[in-house]
Amino acid sequence: MVLSKFLDHKEDFLLNLLNNNYSKETIYNYERDLFLFELFLSVNNIDFIDINKKSIVLFKDFLRSGDYVFYLKSEDPSGKHFFPKEKLASRSINRILSSLRSYLKYLIDFDLPTPISPDSVKLVKTERKESQVAEMSDLIRLIEFPTMWEKNNFVQLRNRAILETLFSTGMRISELASLNRDQINDEGKIYIMGKGKKQRFVYLTQRAIDHIFKYLELRDDDFPALFIPYRGGRNGKIGDRISINYIQERIAFYRKKLGIVVPTSAHSLRHGFATYLAEEGANPAAIQILLGHESLQTTNKYVHGSDKYAEETHRKFHPLK
């Protein structure tokens, strides 16, 4: 089928986000989410101006059932609007519904025709999932694995430094890929621009500093990026920043080779950073600052996700020994 139903003023909505200083990644996510709603309208031959509360119910089912996957294959062969080729989790569905809400609010703010109220787009109930993080010993094995596995010395030292940095600081993978060489010093205190353009300090352990400088000793270039590809970047030239996808792929590969059962990614290293700080007795408010979270509630899902910490608390403080 061919996409036949489009959202009026969508481009103006995205431009408004740009003018309000939203990041390119955030704007892309909004565009991608609204594309799915356009796909739903096209499949069901519904004009946007005719949607109602029932349409939203059907849209939720379109997402929940995974029906969108079949239509994406023909409608988006380029993969511009990438979505998992499987059923979406409830949190992903809610993100898409929230994007639609924001678009409807934009229409109202600019006195444009709006078929339903943003409040008519109700979010779905999310599953309560206990957070999982690999054992500390497994995370250490993962971080050290490039030294044993990678044959190329440059790749070996660079990938080890990447994993050491992720676990040392708890930073997001996008924040790591944006690091420049001039942000690194002997003190290991780095000032970074995080999600939502929020700025904060993160801190390298001495171990991480040592591995970064070992890697930098091999560099004979003057490229500003801290971590660069070994052979050409995304634009085919050496000096580009290392790809986030490459980092994720190597972590997945290392995990598989090591036989680590718990799903482990770059985000898992951030999760592990917070969990094991909490297990050592770190203040949740301090962990919140280190992670760059807006809300302590977001941090608590890491802190409270530690079964080991809960068990030790029970054994230590239960009144009937």
106-151 pLDDT tens trace: 999 999 999 999 999 998 887 655 557 888 889 999 999 999 999 9
Q: How far apart are CA 318 and CA 284, in angstroms?
A: 22
Q: Which helix (H) or strand (E) holds 192?
A: strand 189-193
Encoding tokens for residue 43?
Answer: 């499949």
DSSP conformation class of 218: T
The one catalytic residue in 267, 301, 304, 308 is 267
Find out whether 208 and 165 touch, Cβ atoms under 8 Å: yes
The one catalytic residue in 141, 181, 195, 301 is 195
Question: Is 302 one of the catalytic residues?
Answer: yes
Residue 236 pLDDT class (50, 70, 90 cuts): very low
Residue 320 pLDDT class (50, 70, 90 cuts): low
Residue 296 pLDDT class (50, 70, 90 cuts): low
Provide CATH 1.10.443.10 ranges for the chain: 136-317
CATH number of 136-317: 1.10.443.10
Question: Is 160 one of the catalytic residues?
Answer: no
Encoding tokens for residue 116?
Answer: 């339903």
State yes or no: pLDDT of 99 exceeds 90.
yes
Q: How far apart are CA 34 and CA 19, in angstroms?
A: 19
Q: What pTM, to 2 d.p., does this model score?
A: 0.59
Question: Is 314 one of the catalytic residues?
Answer: no
Question: Is 293 one of the catalytic residues?
Answer: yes
Residue ranges of the alpha helices (H) in the chain? 10-19, 24-43, 53-64, 68-75, 90-109, 136-149, 153-169, 173-177, 206-216, 244-258, 266-279, 284-291, 296-303, 307-317
Residue 270 pLDDT class (50, 70, 90 cuts): confident
Q: Is 117 helix (H, G, I), strand (E, B) or coil?
A: coil
Q: What pLDDT digit, counting tens, does each position of 249-259 carry?
A: 999 999 999 99
